[in-house]
Amino acid sequence: MASTEQQSPATPPASTGGTKTSRWRSRAFRGLAYQVILVVVVLLVGGYLAGNTLENMRVRGIQSGFGFFLQPAGFGIGESMIEYDSSEPYWKAFVVGLSNTLRVAVVGIVLTTLFGTLLGIGRLSRNFLLRTLCTAYVELFRNVPVLLQLLMWYFVLTDWLPDMSAALNPVTGFFLSKNGLSFPIPVWSAGHFATLLGLGGGIAAAWWHARRARHAFEISGAQWPVLWPAIGMLVAGTLIGWLVGGMPGAIDMPERGELNISGGGAVTPEFIAVTMGLTIYTAAFVAEIVRSGIQAVPRGQSEAANSLGLSRAQNLRLVLLPQAMRVIIPPVTNQYLNLTKNSSLAVAIGYPDLVSISNTTLNQTGRAVECILVMMTVYLVLSLLTAALTNWYNTRMAIKER
């Protein structure tokens, strides 16, 4: 019998620094290394620029630092949701400006979403008149600079409307004049807290019902009514909370006097103009995004929905929009960011937003670097938060393959 020799396994070559070489050949390792190097370079450059700026300011005798935030501001603010007096420090004036910016941004985003979605759907309507009007709106307002639109609405509100003594009263308790819009507001009491809890319970119940209806439709194809039951749950929850809270009903109604309107709540023409201008301008872009998103859904999806007997509204709500959201959300996020940053143009019509407060502070204290740095930081944080929320929603709405 022929003997067979047992071969020993090959001995690996001695290490001569191959580990470092193999690591550097890794694309992930190189990418991480490049990012670390870039961050270090940016920090070094930023530190050099900051140190150079502070040194030049010291040589020229320019004061620096954020200590002025604790000093009395010495100027009033015409519109504020927070109690504020001119004797209070600068930091509170900045908080008031930030709250005014947030109010415009939040209200504008909500109105833009609703208005832009309706316009985008109207662009695809079979009705010639509706489709033409929506198209004309989009082509008109998205091609006019937003600053001109803000000035236009401000001049309309302050020049065409009557004085307070002859304010328009279209609905009982509402007065519209050159000084803005006055409206009734409830007088807050402990019972309103129970009403809000009831409203929250109604919203939770409506969400639960909508989710069950969607699940039933996916399982069996049964179409449960959603809209009217959801409205009923909201009304019932609010009513129950109102009853439990003792039925608070005191309302502060505005009253017209000889020279002014007292009582109730009010918004200034500056707030109305900037909110209207930003909403109307941004909604034109959102409408085009919604239209293109719906048209990006394959035509076979609509044909399949029609073959199942779905109405045009059901086809839009259950088939087209859910699939179009993955195309719509990313560009709409950019429009939300643009609206938030464009709110800084409100300074042109005298609305006391963050930029307006910063400009006044800069003129009084001469702290240009600090004021500009605060504005940049605030808008950066607002943009990052908006992007994070919309990205989270985009992840939830993304189509997940099984």
The secondary structure of residue 7, as a DSSP letter, is P
In one-letter notation, the amino acid at residue 357 is I
Superfamily of domain 92-184+251-397: MetI-like (1.10.3720.10)
Contacts (Cβ under 8 Å, ≥6 apart) of 281: 141, 142, 144, 146, 149, 342
pLDDT in tens, the chain (402 residues): 444 444 445 555 544 555 556 676 777 777 888 888 988 999 898 888 777 777 776 776 666 677 788 888 888 888 888 888 888 999 999 999 999 999 999 999 999 999 999 999 999 888 999 999 999 999 999 999 999 999 999 999 888 888 887 888 888 888 888 888 888 888 887 878 888 898 899 899 989 988 888 888 778 777 788 888 888 998 898 899 888 888 887 888 888 777 778 778 888 999 999 999 999 999 999 999 999 998 888 888 888 888 877 788 888 887 888 888 888 999 999 999 999 999 999 999 989 999 999 999 988 888 888 888 899 999 999 999 998 998 888 887 766 655
Are 98 and 354 within 8 A, CB to CB?
Answer: yes
| Calpha distance 257→102 (Å, rounded) | 32
Name the strand (E) or helix (H) holding 266: strand 265-267
Neighbouring C-beta atoms of residue 93, cutoff 10 Å: 26
The secondary structure of residue 168, as a DSSP letter, is B
Contacts (Cβ under 8 Å, ≥6 apart) of 391: 333
pTM assigned to the model = 0.80
Q: Which of 347, 344, 345, 333 is nearest to 383 (CA)?
A: 333
Q: Pairing between strand 251-252 and 255-256?
A: unpaired
Give residue limits of the domains in the chain.
92-184+251-397, 188-249
Between vectors from CA 149 to CA 146 and to CA 155, what angle results, nearest 5°? 145
